[in-house]
Structure formats: structure tokens, C-alpha cells
Amino acid sequence: MSSTIPSELRYTETHEWVRSQEDGIVTVGITDHAQHLLGDLVFVELPEAGRVVTAAEGCAVVESVKAASDVYSPVDGVIVEVNELLADNPELINEDPYEEGWILRIKTSANLEGLLDAAAYELIAIDEDEDEEGSLTNAKLAG
């Protein structure tokens, strides 16, 4: 499985991407690799704007047909906006993970240099693709 990893973004080991904007605001979503692993998304639990978060803290939940998965804040900061469109259209994350499928915006003073760059994240994604050839944790399916 090959997935898109835009070179201008920063990444976490837990499959979030981060795009920095002006005024110390960053946009956060989950990577193309992550949405591939999850499969069709059917529900997104969004936080309230104004919530203070610390790096690696769970701040949203994405649920696919297969499993629920936490979205972790990549940085310390305050959530200033969430993508309300996802409430009715969780599939935006599958269709366009880096643009329309963004999840939240955080105001932060953190330096993004500590996060992974595209090359480093690609190594993690490739490793996982190889591991994934095995079994599914949610093995109770049908028949």
C-alpha cells in the first residue's frame, strides 16, 4: 500500500500531521497512511474549542468500520477551531486527509522542529505496512 506523505508537513509517530500557519496556529489531521489502516471512517468525536491540551494528549477520536482510534495533540496549546463538517461527513478524512479532512486547529508556541519530517515519518509508515501483513486485532468478523 502506498500512501501520500506531503513533504511540507510535520508528523508524529501516532500518525497525526501538522501544518503550521501564521499567528502560531497549527492545523492537525491524521495521515493518509492512518486512514488507509482504519478503513472507512464513520464517526469523529471532536473536542470543544477552547480546550487546553498538552502534547501526546488524546483530543479527538476517529472511528472507522473497524476500530476506534485516538487522535493525539502533537503540541502543547489551546484548541481554537474544530472541523465541524466531520460530524456529518467523516468520510472527508478518507477522501482528502490533508485538506478537507483536517480535524482541529491549535494555538501554540511550540517549535515544530521536534516533530518528524516527511522522510522520518515515511520510515514508520513503511515498517507498519510490512507488519500489517498479519492478522487483524478485530478478528471476529463473519462466517
Partner 1 sequence: MAKRTPLYPCHLALGAKLVDFGGWDMPLHYGSQLKEHHQVRNAAGMFDVSHMTIVDFPDPDPTRVLLRYLLANDVARLYPGKALYTCMLNDSGGVIDDLIVYDRGDNGYRLVLNAATRDKDLAWIAPRAERFNAAWRERHDLAMLAVQGPEALAKLEAVLDAPTLQAVRASGRFHAVESGGAFIARTGYTGEDGVEIMPSVQDAPALWNRLLDAGVAPCGLGARDTLRLEAGMSLYGSDMDETTTPLVSGLGWTVAWQPPERDFVGRAALEQQRAAGAPQTLVGLVLEERGVLRSHQTVHDGDREIGFTTSGAFSPTLNRGIALARVLAGVGDRCQIEVRSKRLSAQVIKPPFVLRPA
Binding site for partner 1 (CB under 8 A): 39-40, 42-43, 45, 61, 63, 65-66, 68, 87, 91, 134-136, 139-143
DSSP symbol at 8: T
CB of residue 58 vs partner 1: minimum separation in angstroms?
A: 10
Q: Choose between 63 and 128: whose C-beta lies nearer to partner 1.
A: 63
Q: Choose between 50 and 143: whose C-beta lies nearer to partner 1.
A: 143
- Angle among Cα 48, 20, 126 to the nearest 5 degrees reads 95
Give yes or no for a contact between 103 and 46, defined as CB atoms under 8 angstroms apart. yes
17 φ/ψ sector (left φ>0, alpha ψ -120 to 50, else beta): beta
Strand partners, 141: none
CB of residue 34 vs partner 1: minimum separation in angstroms?
A: 15
Q: Choose between 61 and 112: whose C-beta lies nearer to partner 1.
A: 61
Q: Choose between 109 and 135: whose C-beta lies nearer to partner 1.
A: 135
Taking the C-alpha atoms of residue 40 and residue 86, their distance in angstroms, rounded to an integer, is 13
CB of residue 40 vs partner 1: minimum separation in angstroms?
A: 4
CA atoms within 13 A on the CB side of 47: 22
CB of residue 48 vs partner 1: minimum separation in angstroms?
A: 14
